């Protein structure tokens, strides 16, 4: 087993301590931080993501794997910043205004991060203006919105309208998800993509950004 396979394996198992030790071991072998990230951590998280999509693992396993991956990323982050490694894209994500549900949004964010996106997580109950403002100031490639309530999911359209008014709609892709959201709703409000689950969200995001 290569060191990358070992890291990917421990990410899948959600073993933070082993991931930390293996990432440090790989660095001591002078393996580059971006190789460790993509061939080890991201590879492991991609496998978890695929299993989650196929109902071969469930939310708790995804959360522990994401935690292990985050530990590994924490070690690599300063080195990646030094080397200026480009992420797949920059995504501003959040749960829509009026909605406090954040579990699905957190998983979507973790899987996107695991796939190599830079995530700016605005949290839950995010005011529509904040989505637009952050997309602008962060120079986002992607805005990801989550909604669990039928009463407030309409705010997703307000964000899209706000992006148009701010003159940045053409430069940012919009992806939406959450239990009451459908492809038909995404089409109706003019979102670029819809994902029924967080793993599909990664596929949709990559496709929208040609990655």
- The set of residues, in sequence order, having a beta carbon less than 8 Å from that of 45 and lying 6+ positions away, is 11, 65, 66, 69, 110, 111, 114, 115
Per CB under 6 A, 174 contacts ligand B1M = no
From the list 20, 25, 50, 102, which residue makes contact with ligand B1M (rule: CB under 6 A)?
A: 102
From the list 72, 89, 116, 178, which residue makes contact with ligand B1M (rule: CB under 6 A)?
A: 178
C-alpha 102/C-alpha 137 separation (Å) is 23
Per the DSSP assignment, residues forming a β-bridge with 173 are 142
What value, to the nearest 5°, has the Cα angle with vertex 67 and ends 62 and 70? 125
**Helix or strand run (H / E) with residue 121:** strand 118-121
The CB-of-211 to ligand B1M minimum distance in angstroms stands at 15
Range in contact with ligand B1M (rule: CB under 6 A) among 26-34, 35-43, 129-137, 178-186: 178-186
Q: Among residues 4 and 117, whose Cβ is nearest to ligand B1M?
A: 117
Query: Among residue numbers 182 through 211, which ones bind ligand B1M (CB under 6 A)?
Result: 195, 197-198, 201
Distance from the Cα of residue 54 to its chain's centroid: 18
Instruction: Show the binding pattern over residues 36-75: x = contacts ligand B1M (CB under 6 A), - = does not.
Output: -----------------------x----------------
Could you tell me if 204 and 173 are in contact, meaning their C-beta atoms sit under 8 angstroms apart?
no
Range in contact with ligand B1M (rule: CB under 6 A) among 7-15, 35-43, 82-90, 94-102: 94-102
Q: Is 149 helix (H, G, I), strand (E, B) or coil?
A: coil
Rounded to 5 degrees, what are φ and ψ at 209?
-100, 10
Per CB under 6 A, 161 contacts ligand B1M = no
Per CB under 6 A, 8 contacts ligand B1M = no
The CB-of-147 to ligand B1M minimum distance in angstroms stands at 7
The CA-to-CA distance between both ends of the chain, in Å, stands at 28
Which residues contact ligand B1M (rule: CB under 6 A)?
59, 93, 98-105, 107-108, 144-146, 148-151, 175, 177-180, 195, 197-198, 201
């Amino acid at each position: 087993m290569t060191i990358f396979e070992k890291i990917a394996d421990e990410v899948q198992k959600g073993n933070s301590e082993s991931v930390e030790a293996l990432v440090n071991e790989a660095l001591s072998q002078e393996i580059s931080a971006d190789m460790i990230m993509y061939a080890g951590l991201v590879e492991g998280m991609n496998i978890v993501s695929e299993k989650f999509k196929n109902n071969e693992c469930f939310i708790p396993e995804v959360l522990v794997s994401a935690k292990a991956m985050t530990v590994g990323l924490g070690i690599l982050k300063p080195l990646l910043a030094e080397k200026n490694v480009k992420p797949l894209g920059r995504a501003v994500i959040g749960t829509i205004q009026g909605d406090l549900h954040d579990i699905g949004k957190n998983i979507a964010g973790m899987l996107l991060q695991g796939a190599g996106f830079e995530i700016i997580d605005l949290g839950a109950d995010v005011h529509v203006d904040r989505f637009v403002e952050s997309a602008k100031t962060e120079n986002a490639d992607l805005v990801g919105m989550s909604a669990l309530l039928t009463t407030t999911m309409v705010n997703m359209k307000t964000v899209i309208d706000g992006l148009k008014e701010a003159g940045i709609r053409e430069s940012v892709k919009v992806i939406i998800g959450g239990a009451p959201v459908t492809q038909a709703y995404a089409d109706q409000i003019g979102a670029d993509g819809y994902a029924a689950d967080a793993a599909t969200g990664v596929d949709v995001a990559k496709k929208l950004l040609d990655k």
